[in-house]
Structure 1
Amino acid sequence: MRFASLGSGSKGNATLVESDEALVLVDCGFGLRDALARMALLGIDPTRIDALLVTHEHGDHLRGVRSLAKRLKLPVYLTAGTWLAGKLEGLERVHLINPEQRFAIKDLEIDPVTVPHDAREPVQYLFETAGRRLGVLTDLGHVTDHVRRRFRDCDGLLLECNHDLRMLAEGPYPPSLKRRVGGHWGHLANAQAVALLRHWGTDRLQRVVASHLSDKNNRPELAFEALEPLLDNDASRLMVAAQDRGIGWQRLDRTVERVL
């Protein structure tokens, strides 16, 4: 399995996940031309994409879904709540999925996992193939016991590090938006990401990608400094996804237990 980010942040998000047989795109928060240009930088022919998976209806995840799906004639997988938000009318190949009910696209097993976020019926995704397990876990206000249980034992993880608590408190957002971002239905802070990784332990994790960083309330170096000590200070296991360029392809090898 391998994965790459086209970009991650409040201005747009999209993630490619590839197995031996399948290639899927999780969200498309970029306009059609921008999304295609970002795929070209990753060496991807977009006609190879098998499906587009949607996490929720917010614009930074949905902006380019309709245009890309129509251009490439892609099936779009999303929850009924996301569909009923009414932002994707006109699509012909819509597959409604049930949270917590596994489905497959070719050899890629996919679990849509319920998360707490201020959307109609949001999910995040787990991917499994050939004994490898990737979690895409962004856009959640807090970590529930359910999230802890479902996303454990991943070999790779894209994990939300949206804001630094101090930067959010002292930053330019109005009080109502600060409450929304930092609330139980908003976004994860660096400290919450740290607590989650500490709870799990990180021996199995080959790659951790700090994702969905706010350009107003976080800095890449803060996210990196917060997470790196949990990965034995091994910088090769940790990346920060940028809004303008995401991250290049990351490969997950067969599952191995790290020996300390």
Structure 2
Amino acid sequence: MLKVASLGSGSKGNSTLIATEEATIMVDCGFTLKETLKRLERLNVVPSALDAILITHEHQDHISGVGPLSRKFDIPVWSTRGSLLSGKCGKLSNYSVIEGFNRFIIGDIDVLPISVPHDAREPCQYLFNADDKKLAVLTDLGSYTPEIIELLKSCDGLLLECNHDEDMLWNGPYPYSLKQRVGGPLGHMSNSQAIKLLQSIIDDNLKLLIASHISEQNNCPDLVQRSVATAIDWPLGDVIIAEQDKGFDWLAVS
């Protein structure tokens, strides 16, 4: 059974767990070592159970805890060369270099890195395939490409960025330069962008939808849940919210 959980999602830190009976993968670790261990315990996961840490990109809210966790428990890190060359993880003795759209295997999980538009050195997101189920983790991108749309079709589960409401962002307190970055093609996905993406890929296979990386300043979980559910004609409660403080507990991709 393929399943997913989150330690937390948002600008203060991000980390997602993907697991089967044979393997457990952490995608990003943007929390301190102490906080990461605390959040892992909440999900009943011991660090020694982690088979790999996958990096999406080198921004602090995704990478700050990767080096300390990897070094302390000798967990292999998988990353693009660009993210590694940022030096944000410190010295790593156990790592593998990956490239966008080149598959690799961890345990019984097939992993496909997806190159995405984002303001980092060599950012990627991931598509996981195990037990005949597909789960995509797609956060931290300012826009989406035809390749991304094709890969997301027929997914059984999707963790999708709904970072900001465009009106709240542009009328909010951020400096104009930051508004341009967040709302630009290399920034973060808005609610409306996420909805358009969903409407272009949704089919009967998609059973699990999780809205993630929701801005505390420029968005509202209730707004995300309501607007997404209405747009794709889903029951309100079926749109799961990844929270900054609690993430979400284990969910099966079925």
What's the TM-score once normalised by structure 1's chain length? 0.95
Structure-to-structure mapping, 1:18-97, within 5 angstroms: 18-97=19-98
Cα contact 1:164–1:191 (8 A) shared by 2 = yes
Q: Secondary structure at the match of 2:160?
A: strand
Cα contact 2:152–2:201 (8 A) shared by 1 = no
Residue 106 of structure 2 corresponds to residue 105 of structure 1 = yes
Unaligned stretches of 5+ residues in structure 1: 254-260
Please give the per-residue CA displacement for 1:152-190, whole angstroms capped at 9, x wherever unaligned: 211111000000000001111000000000000000000
1:31 CA drift (Å): 0.4
* Aligned match of 2:156: 155
1:150 CA drift (Å): 1.7
Distance 1:62 1:184 in 2: 22
1:226 CA drift (Å): 1.3
Count of residues in correspondence between the two structures? 253
Percent of pairs identical after alignment? 46
- The one-letter code sitting in structure 2 at the alignment partner of 1:228 is A
* Aligned match of 2:10: 9
1:231 CA drift (Å): 4.5
Cα contact 1:22–1:108 (8 A) shared by 2 = yes
* Aligned match of 2:146: 145
1:235 CA drift (Å): 3.3
* Aligned match of 2:167: 166
Unaligned stretches of 5+ residues in structure 2: none
Cα contact 1:202–1:230 (8 A) shared by 2 = no
Distance 1:21 1:86 in 2: 31
Distance 1:89 1:247 in 2: 29
* Aligned match of 1:219: 220
Distance 1:46 1:28 in 2: 12
What's the TM-score once normalised by structure 2's chain length? 0.97
Q: Secondary structure at the match of 1:21?
A: coil
* Aligned match of 2:136: 135
Q: Secondary structure at the match of 1:205?
A: coil
Q: Secondary structure at the match of 1:5?
A: strand
